[in-house]
């Protein structure tokens, strides 16, 4: 019995990896003969790092820096993601 899966992956980033976007999706097609329904899993992640110092290898130890980002996981039966889990970091 043939089973069909579709996988999609994208990764976008800026120079120095200061801003990143990662997306992943896998989709399983239904197999009615085996009573297997369609199922989809999606992952997404974004992050933003502070800009580089204007000076070469410059570090200001008194300056508090932070990385921000958010992530998402979606999964469920069907060809679209139904359930959502979201994560945000600061």
Give the pLDDT confidence of 7-65 residue by residue, as tens digits.
999 999 999 899 999 999 999 999 998 888 888 999 999 999 988 878 877 777 887 88
Structural contact between residues 20 and 12, judged by C-beta atoms closer than 8 angstroms: yes
Any domain includes 67 = yes
Residue with tokens 């959502």: 84
pTM over 0.85: no
Query: How many folded domains does the chain comprise?
Result: 1
Structural contact between residues 25 and 7, judged by C-beta atoms closer than 8 angstroms: yes
Any domain includes 58 = no
Any domain includes 83 = yes
Any domain includes 9 = yes
> Alpha carbon of 56 to those of 14, 16, 47, 59: distances in Å?
19, 14, 23, 9
Any domain includes 38 = yes
Q: What is the pLDDT of residue 84?
A: 57
Domain with 17, as residue range(s), is: 5-52+63-89
Phi, psi values for residue 16, rounded to 5°: 80, 5
Q: What is the pLDDT of residue 87?
A: 61
- Six-digit token pair at 81? 């993601």
Any domain includes 57 = no
């Amino acid at each position: 019995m043939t089973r069909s899966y579709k996988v999609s992956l994208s990764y976008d980033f800026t120079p120095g990896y200061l801003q990143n976007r990662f997306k992943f999706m896998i989709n399983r097609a239904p197999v009615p003969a085996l009573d297997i329904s369609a199922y989809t899993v999606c992952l997404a992640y974004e992050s933003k790092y502070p800009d580089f110092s204007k000076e070469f290898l410059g570090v200001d130890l008194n300056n508090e820096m932070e990385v921000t980002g958010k992530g998402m996981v979606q999964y469920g039966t069907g060809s679209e993601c139904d359930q959502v889990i979201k994560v945000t970091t600061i």
